[in-house]
Amino acid sequence: MRQHYKPLILLSSIVLLQSLVSCGAQNEAGQSVLESQKTATYDTAIAPAEEAPPVPNANREDYNPIDENDFQLVRTQPLSTFSIDVDRASYSNVRRFIEMGQLPPKDAVRIEELINYFSYDYPQPEGDEPFAITTEISEAPWNRTHKLVRIGVQGREVETENLPPSNLVFLLDVSGSMAEPNKLPLLQSAFRLLVNELDESDRVSIVVYAGAAGLVLPPTPGNQKDKILSALDQLQAGGSTAGRQGIELAYKLARDNFIENGNNRVILATDGDFNVGVSSEGELVRLVERKREDGIFLTVLGFGTGNLQDAKMEQMANHGNGNYAYIDSLLEAKKVLVTELGGTLLTIAKDVKIQIEFNPAKVLAYRLIGYENRLLDDRDFNDDTKDAGELGAGHSVTALYEIVSVGSETDVNLPNVDDLTYQQTEIAPEAFDSDELMLVKLRYKQPDGDTSELITQPLIDNGLRLDATSDDFRFAASVAEFGMLLRNSSYRGDATWDDLLNLARNAKGEDIEGYRAEFIRLVENAQLLESQ
């Protein structure tokens, strides 16, 4: 017999959510709430009288501090290990700040997310491998005495019609902080786009939370679009934010309706302001870490301004086998939930880690650009119990390394490490004879697997000049340069806004969707703001 889910009743004067009534939510006796309480007046998560109203124009946005990666000496740190990151939230958030007429906070700029916002012309994997690895090396535009290495990982594309059936639980924040045009109304419009992409093999449930959590829509086939859209249309915002209750209920629904070999996913949409019950970043991270063991993936969608809890949402996605996007417009919602639907909904590999081994005969020092909060210990690479990033169908990951070659001049301060007293490290003779600068190693697990698989590929420096590189290489370099200028990076070298614009304009390429042209306009606006 199908289990009924009981909406939680708000305390004191808080009554049941209006949307629960509209969508036929049931109580323990199996009666519809509407039938059992016909004379009641229903409102949506009315805030308790004692709750203080939000302060107008108060800025409570929160970002984790980023300590920029420094150069490492190859002779003492020959390995560089990190988890992939396919999140793109930082780019759309940075765009939002600039379009509002201000430069973003330094810690809102995660350079790897800026780079990975864009698609690159990477080849599809061959054979049974879920990935293809692409490498390219040339001069670093901001410091021509250094080299810049681009590593691209391309996930296998899956046509939308070939996606496996989805068991989706929409976990929607309808608390008082969402009562703004760029929050709940935009959220509703965004999810309408997603619903229109689903079919009869998919299931959708909707859970909302404010002062408490409730079930708005029980599992419903994806082709019953009118019923799903009606449930979305009924939502209103008000009250505090009991995020934990919502998370618990959403994951229970996903687990109880689990589809074997399907896409089982909770999609959390919020501004991240959890203020009832579990609310700290650490507590929320530990909560979703426990839930990921059930094979349920997580997508986090951020909305709104002034109250965006970016730090919490990013870490929840990182630790919940998921991804994180910031929705600042309906066009961004279309990009995330329609254009990139396969990558957003279908995970083709989990716990994806990259480890680079540098050849000490060729490379003196290196610096990973971005990924500061995705760094791993070297021993974690072979440890299958260590969590790492997930890659969706058709998604790509790009990482950039700035390197100092042996024998080249550099004006950066490299680490000063004394020679060891009790042991010596010798370079193998083969390293001097090799043309390889580094070895790229990648580990991943199947979405339902526990044991990782390994892919390796060497990189050789062919002495390519910057103007002879691909448009993708130069464009990715321009995006990295943009991030370093926004962050006022100590490693920005000779970077200037004019040089950055020239590099980006000449590397725009085909740009069918117009994202690169938009980036150039964004840089132009940022330059004007910086000059004020």
Cα–Cα distance, 129 to 453 (Å, whole number) = 10
**Concatenated DSSP letters for 459-522?**
EE-----GGGS-HHHHHHHHHHHHHHHHTT-TT-TT--HHHHHHHHHHT----TTSHHHHHHHH
8 Å CB contact between 15 and 42: yes
Q: How far apart are CA 57 and CA 307, in angstroms?
A: 9
pLDDT in tens, 211-264: 778 999 999 999 999 999 999 999 998 877 667 788 889 999 999 999 998 999
User: Residue 488 is which amino acid?
Assistant: N
Tell me how crowded residue 210 is: count the other CB atoms within 10 A of its CB: 30
Fold of 72-158+348-407+430-531: Immunoglobulin-like (2.60.40)
Residue type, 27: N
CA distance 315 to 291: 14
Cβ atoms of 210 and 200 within 8 Å: the answer is no
Helix axes 471-486, 515-531, angle to 10 degrees: 30
Q: Strands 322-327, 297-303: parallel, antiparallel or unpaired by DSSP?
A: parallel
CATH architecture of 161-345: 3-Layer(aba) Sandwich (3.40)
Q: Please report the pLDDT score of residue 8 as a whole number.
A: 34
The owner of tokens 């119990």 is: 385
Q: Residue for token digits 């703001």?
A: 529
Where helices occur in 358-460 by DSSP H, the ranges are 429-433
Q: Which of 284, 201, 271, 218 lies closest to 245, judged by CA?
A: 284
pLDDT for 278 equals 53
- The three-state secondary structure class of 79 is strand
Measured CA to CA, the distance from residue 317 to residue 298 in angstroms comes to: 6
Res 123: pLDDT: 95
CB 234 within 8 A of CB 228: no
**Is 72-158+348-407+430-531's fold the same as 161-345's?**
no
pLDDT of residue 283: 76
Q: What is the pLDDT of residue 41?
A: 26
**What are the residue ranges spanned by the domains of the chain?**
72-158+348-407+430-531, 161-345
Instruction: Burial-class residue 6 by CB neighbours within 10 Å (0-12, 13-18, 19+).
Output: middle
The list of the chain residues with pLDDT below 70 reads: 1-59, 241-242, 274-281
**Which value, in Å, is the radius of gyration of the alpha carbons in the chain?**
25
Using alpha carbons, select from 123, 108, 464 the residue that is nearest to residue 308: 108
Which residues face 399 on adjacent strands? 151
Q: Contact 19/235 with Cβ under 8 angstroms?
A: yes
- DSSP code per residue over 210-233: SSSEEEEEEEEETT-HHHHHHHHH
CA distance 31 to 34: 8
Distance from CA of residue 173 to its chain's centroid?
Answer: 19
